[in-house]
Amino acid sequence: MTASATADTGENPSSELEDLSTQVGDEDQREYDFIVVSNRLPVDRVVDDDGNASWRRSPGGLVTALAPVMAKADGAWIGWNGATSERLDAFSHNDMRLIPVSLSADEVEYYYEGFSNATLWPLYHDVVAPPEFHRHWWEAYRRVNQRFADAAALVAAEGATVWVQDYQLQLVPQMLRRLRPDLCIGFFNHIPFPPTEIFAQLPWRGRVIDGLLGADLIGFQRTSDASNFMRSARRFRGYSVKQQFVHVQDDDGEVSHIARAEAFPISIDSTKIHELAHDDEIIERAAQIRRDLGNPTKVLLGVDRLDYTKGIGHRLKAYSELLDDGTLTVEDAVLIQVASPSRERVEQYRILREEIEGSVGHINGQHDTIEHTAVRYLHHSYPLEEMVALYLAADVMLVTALRDGMNLVAKEYVAARVESNGTLVLSEFAGAADQLDEAVLINPHDIDGLKEAILKAVHMDPDDAKRRMKKMRREILDHDVEHWSQSFLNTLREVTADRGTASE
């Protein structure tokens, strides 16, 4: 593994291609039959006490789902390594070939923090916060997407399958198709796709649609997301849309290819969580958590990234009013709120953290006693083992997202409830609500309705709770993250087996 401190400005395309070729090396070019392209590599750099750096596989469902596929299919993973202005050569880690893509500090600011997370993220989440539109952000986004596409074109074998991941790389499919029309290209959007009326605000809406339509198969979390995308393809590009197929036209108005858009709800490694939930040490840790809280009658739990889409403020408001009303007391109920750090360099997120911590302080100041705390607030990230212990300790899981592509926390809680007890309160605006319809579904904007749902969950008849949980657990165990990846890849193979069939 080698690195240099040279900034990657992206201003000279031919120089960039030369750099990529050098990083990739001759032995990797046109080599791999299966390639994943995502914003980040599936590894994190760790430094030991002596200052020695190494790589550790990143946690998360995407890596869990795709690592076995890559091992079997002679695969490579293309992504940014997380450091700015650092060029790394391709390297191997745990049977995966990793192809780093370099980003300068300016590109991280404009492409990632800017266009991806201050333009697309709020726009795609129903404008919960106002998106910003800046032309220099767009140019950085376009330039970085081209770099990822160039890297994939260099290492893909003839006729290889390339699976591009998420909203940061929406232009890559079209760019890659132009470079390598022999490839089978899939794209999966992990966040919602907005209704046409909202997507219309994006100044570069047509170019984003064209970017996505470079893929043979575009996957979404919900059927409504796929429908929103197809309506935008028809409205903003004038393409013919028939059922799940979009007839993409070239500059002469001729159909160049047919792209398919469909829902593939992502899931979790339910087997892993099921195993951890039976681990004696984790079971004891869950009991210790309840003892540390003073053995309340009910433990309520919220687990979120600290993000304005998660509805944490709405949840705290509803809980606070229940305490104010005397409907709940700190002697009987406690709320654990895990809010893992997120995008702390972005001003909106710093403001959100101050608001949430202010609300927690107010609630605890009003309702804490010497023995009991109303809200136990934890601004940390935790390993999966600790999360499973929290899931086992909690009687009620609160998922109050204002808009969420899926929300895997809801699925993890269900998978961990091996005794089929516990109750899930779930926002209807999270993709998970489509599969987990036995949860207590809520509109998080309706504070009175949210309060009623919390009370319903707290006081639910145990037999009713068990019936609901059993049904949700069957759904999660039958449709895990491996099922998701195989379903998408099998459909991609069907679509590309005969690219002309869909038009008949």
HEC per residue, 336-390: EEEEECCCCCCHHHHHHHHHHHHHHHHHHHHHCCCCCCCEEEECCCCCHHHHHHH
User: What domain range includes position 152?
Assistant: 21-266+484-497
Residue range 156-173: mean pLDDT, rounded: 97
Q: What is the pLDDT of residue 283?
A: 98
Domain count, the chain: 2
Give 11's pLDDT tier (boundaries 50, 70, 90). Answer: low
**How does 249-273 read in b/e, with b if 16+ C-beta sit within 10 Å?**
beeeeeeebbbbbbbbbbbbbbebb
Do the domain assignments include residue 227?
Answer: yes
In this structure, the answer to whether residues 288 and 232 fall within a common structural domain is no
In this structure, the answer to whether residues 322 and 261 fall within a common structural domain is no
Could you give the CA distance from residue 303 to residue 336 in angstroms, rounded to a whole number? 8
Distances (CA, A) of 238 to 177, 210, 234, 235, 279: 20, 11, 5, 6, 56
* 169, 193, 471, 63: CA torsion to nearest 10: 10
Residue 70 has pLDDT above 60, yes or no: yes
User: Which phi and psi (to 5°) does residue 380 adopt?
Assistant: -145, 165
Give 225's pLDDT tier (boundaries 50, 70, 90). Answer: very high
What is the pTM assigned to this prediction? 0.92
- 56-60, 252-256, 403-407: which has the minimum mean pLDDT? 56-60
In this structure, the answer to whether residues 239 and 334 fall within a common structural domain is no
Stated as kind and residue range, the H or E segment containing 267 is none
In this structure, the answer to whether residues 294 and 167 fall within a common structural domain is no
In this structure, the answer to whether residues 142 and 48 fall within a common structural domain is yes
Closest to 32 (Cα-Cα) out of 187, 180, 175: 180
More confident residue, 496 or 319: 319
In this structure, the answer to whether residues 46 and 185 fall within a common structural domain is yes
- 53-57, 358-362, 434-438: which has the minimum mean pLDDT? 53-57
Do the domain assignments include residue 14?
Answer: no
User: Which phi and psi (to 5°) does residue 385 adopt?
Assistant: -60, -45
In this structure, the answer to whether residues 262 and 327 fall within a common structural domain is no
Q: What is the DSSP letter of 27?
A: G
Do the domain assignments include residue 88?
Answer: yes
Q: Domain holding 132: CATH number?
A: 3.40.50.2000
Cβ 186 vs Cβ 488: under 8 Å = yes
Do the domain assignments include residue 356?
Answer: yes
Q: Which residues contact 381 (CB under 8 A, 6 or more apart)?
A: 340, 341
Residue range 267-281: mean pLDDT, rounded: 95
CB atoms within 10 A of CB 244: 20
Per mean pLDDT, which of 17-26, 67-76, 92-101, 216-225 is the most reliable?
A: 216-225
pLDDT, the chain, mean: 92
Q: What is the pLDDT of residue 186?
A: 98
Could you give the CA distance from residue 420 to residue 465 in angstroms, rounded to a whole number? 8
In this structure, the answer to whether residues 387 and 475 fall within a common structural domain is yes
Stated as kind and residue range, the H or E segment containing 252 is none
In this structure, the answer to whether residues 232 and 316 fall within a common structural domain is no
